Amino acid sequence: MTTVAAVDLGASSGRVILGRVVDGEVTLHESNRFRNGPIRVGETLHWDILRIWRGLLDGLRAAGREAGTIDAVGIDAWAVDYGLLDESGALLGNPVHYRDARTTGIMEKVLLRTPANEIYATTGVQFLPINTLYQLVAAAEGAGRTQLMAASQLLLIPDLLGNWLSGARVAEITNASTTQLLDIRRRTWATTLMGEHRIRPEWFAPLVEPGDLIGELRGSVLEDTGLAGRIPLIAVGSHDTASAVVGVPAAGPGFAYISCGTWSLVGVELDHPVLTADSREANFTNELGVDGTVRYLRNVMGLWLLQECLREWNSAGLPADLPQLLHDAARVPAFTAVVDPDAPEFLTPGDMPSRIAAACTRLGQERPQSQPEVVRCILDSLALAYRRRLRQAQALSGQVVDVVHIVGGGARNQLLCQLTADACNLPVVAGPAEAAAIGNILVQARSLGAMDGDLHELRAVVRRSEPLHTYQPSGDDRGWATAEARAYSDRVTA
């Protein structure tokens, strides 16, 4: 039996999950779960990185108590955000949250200096204001310039925590590919692009691949967690979506995936990037995956809209029980109101129900009046976005899709899964909910020699190990086509 700890960090919560691999199956046990989210200091949104670190250590301590011994540790987390280190290796302040407003208008400035077609031809990454490229330019033009002047190293969030665990300074390539600062074909840092925007290439650590040995846990970490022995830190798909795609229980090549959490990542798995003008104009991204694959996908705003509505209602003292709201939303007539969940006004925190209502008014629709109506609007709108992006992914990549896999927390949302099957007119296989942790664990186990095989064989382990549920489409496409036209009627973008 091989026992590893998967540190799986999302934008709303973090987890340390103990994984045991034996006889071709994997079992999971959650050792620790802790809340995560933005903290506002003055006018800036930050991550509370020390709280995350404490949750990680608490989880490793609990995992060690349960398992007795741990054979390895791997970390996956969200993309694009980073910490800056000085020459001594000390962190120069809490990392800034990607939803901070500092990048407003920055992408447009960058594109005046380097045309979009040149950036896309090099990086293959979709144009989002949250990308690391724009965060660094914003920092250099604003309050972050002092930290940049003192910086010796930049580490993305999972690499930063890995540095604290092991002392190693590396950049795992699946997460590096999200920054819009990596040459997607050469699989090296895009130093020419960096130079054009006064970003110092020496900030960026050497690249490593999933499965590589990063180092071993420091003595201080062993002391703080009660672990013992030489415990390796193994590079996994450190972008949580890269690990989640490993955990997709697909049986053949004709699948699409929706990694559904705070964000929804909607796409297909390819052997090579798609760098055409049509792909760029549709704003699809080519992010690197495990075993040399390419995750060809679009970001969709995801369950963030629902999470923010629940937060707003709870803050106002209104009852907001999610299971009851989903039950009641299922009774709301379909397409009462639909919006584009990727509209810019939904990106930042704050009074999401009012923003959704305002969008409905702008689109000439009735405003949702009740909490269940707001929830139904969100879920219908997400299903429409999934339908739209999956059809684009097939057309742009040439990949034929015959089944959609929903993994992550959204796999537990039965109404969303059924609506997605109906909207896409394809069967939807839901599960596992902890796909990122499973992918993290399987890459560690394979690196340790506990299993062999390619991604197909790793996914077979997932199918043997996890309960899955299939949702069949209703077959009636007419309402969805009409609703899509309403939701996107005021937008020209693809």
Does 310 share its domain with 204?
Answer: no
Residue 490 is predicted with a pLDDT of 60
Final residue in a domain of this structure, among 185, 215, 238: 238
Q: Are strands 44-47 and 182-183 parallel, antiparallel or unpaired?
A: unpaired
291 is catalytic: no
**Alpha-carbon span 39 to 395, nearest angstrom:** 40
Q: Are residues 211 and 251 located together in one domain of the fold?
A: no
- CB within 8 Å of 122: residues ≥ 6 apart: 183, 184, 190, 192, 193
**What's the CATH code of the domain at 32?**
3.30.420.40
For residue 408, how far is the Cα from the chain centroid? 10
Q: Are residues 188 and 300 in the same domain?
A: no
Token look-up 């909490």 returns 371
Distance CA 290, CA 304 (A): 26
- 461 part of a folded domain: no
Pair (125, 63) in one structural domain: yes
Q: Tell me how many domains the chain contains.
A: 2
Please state the separation of Cα 11 from the chain's center in Å.
8
Same domain, yes or no: 22 and 162: yes
Length of the chain: 494
Residues of the chain with pLDDT under 70: 490-494
In a domain, 304, yes or no: yes
Q: What is the pLDDT of residues 142-159, one digit of tens each?
A: 988 999 999 999 999 999
In terms of domains, do 367 and 485 share one? yes
Element of type H or E holding 19: strand 13-22
- Domain co-membership, 230 together with 109: yes
Look at residue 463 and tell me if it is in a domain.
no
Residue 456 maps to a domain: no
What local confidence, expressed as pLDDT, does residue 143 receive? Answer: 85
Q: Are residues 264 and 232 in the same domain?
A: no
Torsion of Cα atoms, 364 then 370 then 373 then 379, to 10° = 110
Q: What element of type H or E holds 175?
A: helix 173-176
User: How far from chain centre, in Å, is Cα 308?
Assistant: 17
Strands 38-41 and 44-47 turn out to be: antiparallel
Q: Does residue 403 share a domain with residue 311?
A: yes
DSSP state of 63: H
Asked whether residue 457 is assigned to any structural domain, the reply reads no
The catalytically annotated residue of 81, 240, 340, 422 is 240
pLDDT of residue 478: 78
pLDDT digits (tens, 9 = 90+) for 376-413: 999 999 999 999 999 999 999 999 999 999 999 999 99
The last residue of one of the domains, among 221, 238, 255, is 238
Sign of CA dihedral 273, 237, 77, 201: negative
* Start-end of H helices in 284-348: 304-315, 322-329
The set of residues, in sequence order, having a beta carbon less than 8 Å from that of 295 and lying 6+ positions away, is: 241, 242, 245, 265, 267, 269, 285, 286, 287, 288, 289
Looking only at the bridges linking them, the beta strands covering 403-407 and 428-430 are parallel
Please give the radius of gyration of the chain, using alpha carbons only, rounded to the nearest integer. 22
| Token pair recorded at residue 40 | 């506002």
Final residue in a domain of this structure, among 188, 208, 238: 238
Residues 254 and 280 in one domain: yes
Amino acid at 228: A
22-47 as b/e, with b when 16 or more CB fall inside 10 Å? eeeebebeebbebebbbeeeeebbbb
pTM beyond 0.85: the answer is: yes
Give the structural domain span for 67. Answer: 2-238
Same-domain pairing of 162 and 259:
no
User: Do the beta carbons of residue 181 and residue 193 sit within 8 Å?
Assistant: yes
298 in Cβ contact with 392 (< 8 Å)? yes
What CA–CA distance (Å, rounded) separates 67 from 77?
Answer: 24
Cβ contact 404:256 at 8 Å: yes
Residue 195 lies in a domain: yes
Contacts of 21 (CB under 8 A, 6+ apart): 1, 2, 3, 4, 441, 442, 445, 450, 451, 461
Distance between alpha carbon 62 and the CA centroid of its chain, in Å?
26
What's CA 364's distance to the chain center, in Å?
Answer: 33
- Sheet with 255-260, edge to edge strand ranges: 285-288, 294-300, 264-270, 255-260, 403-407, 428-430, 469-471
Phi, psi of 285 (to 5 degrees): -115, 150
pLDDT at 479: 87
Interacting residues of 267 by C-beta distance below 8 A, sequence separation 6+: 256, 257, 284, 295, 296, 297, 298, 389, 393
- Tell me phi and psi for residue 60, to 5 degrees: -65, -40
Contact 235, 209 (CB under 8 A): yes
- Tell me, yes or no, whether 133 lies in a domain: yes
Give the pLDDT of residue 494: 36
Q: Which of 456, 469, 486, 236 is nearest to 384 (CA)?
A: 486
173 within domain boundaries: yes
DSSP element (H, E) containing 447: helix 435-447
Shared domain for 33 and 63, answered yes or no, is yes
Up-side HSE of residue 23: CA atoms within 13 Å toward CB? 3
Give the SS3 label for residue 69. coil
